[in-house]
Amino acid sequence: MGPGLTGYIIRRLLWAIPVLFILSVVVFWMLRLAPGDPIESRLGKAYTPEAAARLREKYGYTQPIPVQYVKYIKNLLQGDLGVSTRHPDFTAAEIILPKMWVSTQIGFFALLITFALGIPVGVYAALARGTFVDPMVISSWLLLDAIPAFVLVPMAQWLFALKLGWVGLRYEGVYTMNMVVPVLILALPGVAGVARLMRASVIGVMGEDFVRTARAKGLRERTVVVTHITRNALLPMITVIGLSLPGIAAGALFVEQLFGIPGIGRESLEAVTAPDFDVILALVLFSSFLFVMANVLVDVVYAFIDPRVRISSGRG
């Protein structure tokens, strides 16, 4: 990694700071001006103006918003993301991180399967262009994409748990047999999309001069397909993969809900409906940070594998 690249990475990461700052200001203000009230929702039927006033005092919600914000940022700089109003004995970080980690692991395996299947399917469809095989392959995967999760999940649960007895349905940790079905349900519907992108990319590359040259040189067809076509066609996929990465940390609400997975999707929904100010803010900041990171990662990966993409020191 040359000094230019290191500098570039550092610059990009520094750029994340103002982005996160602006985002935090906006979200902080919006949350406090929006109609939801965390204290009301926490107290429920036990709400009395008096009890609410005391809790507001305790959480500092009675202070002017700018004061609250400065306090929040001060704590943030010390690594304190605040406390959850729904689970007052947990900090926002303690609520979010374990759940994000669960979602990330599950999402990562799902993503892996999606691309591991989608890329070869796409290449295959592209090579079979013009025959009935091409649309058949793509549309058979699309079929899976077309079934909504709330139909697919109960079907899969019935088949694999009740009928075949291969898996259980209780959440017992990420690395258990019970997670195979949810991971596949997350992964398989995405295959069609990846395959179509890959197919388009391959078709684009197939028309390039260097492919013709390779064939003219008398290289074996397999070599042409693997080294010349597929490798080059994979380049645009890096962006797709890279930008899917922060998404997996956001979790999958439906699948998490139906399989009882304590992931971040469900947590986000509950935090937003509460609303749980500090948890929402932490979620926003985390996911935007991940998004920035993923962008940097994509650029860096490009720089490594494709000499045509160069990172000039002037780019930010």
The residues in 189-248 that bind another protein, with binding defined as CB under 8 A, are 221-222, 225
Contact 85, 42 (CB under 8 A): yes
* Tokens coding 129: 């262009």
Minimal distance, residue 57 CB to another protein, in Å: 8
Q: Select 116 or 305, whichever has its Cβ closest to another protein.
A: 116
Q: Contacts with another protein in 97-156 (CB under 8 A)?
A: 98-99, 109, 112-113, 116-117, 120-121, 123-124, 127-128, 131, 133, 153-154
Q: Which residues of 11-30 are buried (b: 16+ CB within 10 A; e: fewer)?
A: ebeeebeeebeebbeebbee
Contact 55, 294 (CB under 8 A): no
- Asked if 179 is part of the footprint of another protein (rule: CB under 8 A), the reply reads yes
- Asked if 33 is part of the footprint of another protein (rule: CB under 8 A), the reply reads no
Q: Select 138 or 297, whichever has its Cβ closest to another protein.
A: 138
- Asked if 170 is part of the footprint of another protein (rule: CB under 8 A), the reply reads yes
- Asked if 78 is part of the footprint of another protein (rule: CB under 8 A), the reply reads no
Minimal distance, residue 68 CB to another protein, in Å: 18
Q: Contacts with another protein in 273-312 (CB under 8 A)?
A: 273
User: Shortest CA distance to 82 belongs to which of 275, 252, 249, 256?
Assistant: 275
- Asked if 183 is part of the footprint of another protein (rule: CB under 8 A), the reply reads yes
* Tokens coding 105: 């692991």
Q: How far is CA 260 from the centre of its chain?
A: 19
Q: Which of 258, 285, 297, 303 binds another protein (CB under 8 A)?
A: 258
Minimal distance, residue 175 CB to another protein, in Å: 4
Minimal distance, residue 101 CB to another protein, in Å: 9
- Asked if 169 is part of the footprint of another protein (rule: CB under 8 A), the reply reads yes
Minimal distance, residue 123 CB to another protein, in Å: 8
Contact 145, 118 (CB under 8 A): no
φ/ψ of 83, rounded to 5, equals: -115, 160
Q: Which of 9, 73, 144, 180 binds another protein (CB under 8 A)?
A: 180
Minimal distance, residue 58 CB to another protein, in Å: 6
Rounded Cα gap, residues 40 and 51, in angstroms:
10
- Cα–Cα distances in Å, from 221 out to 12, 142, 200, 214, 227? 42, 29, 20, 9, 10
Question: Is the C-alpha dihedral spanning 30, 31, 32, 35 positive or negative?
Answer: positive
Rounded Cα gap, residues 98 and 106, in angstroms:
13
- Asked if 51 is part of the footprint of another protein (rule: CB under 8 A), the reply reads yes
Choices 44-52, 144-152, 239-247, 295-303 (CB under 8 A): range interacting with another protein? 44-52
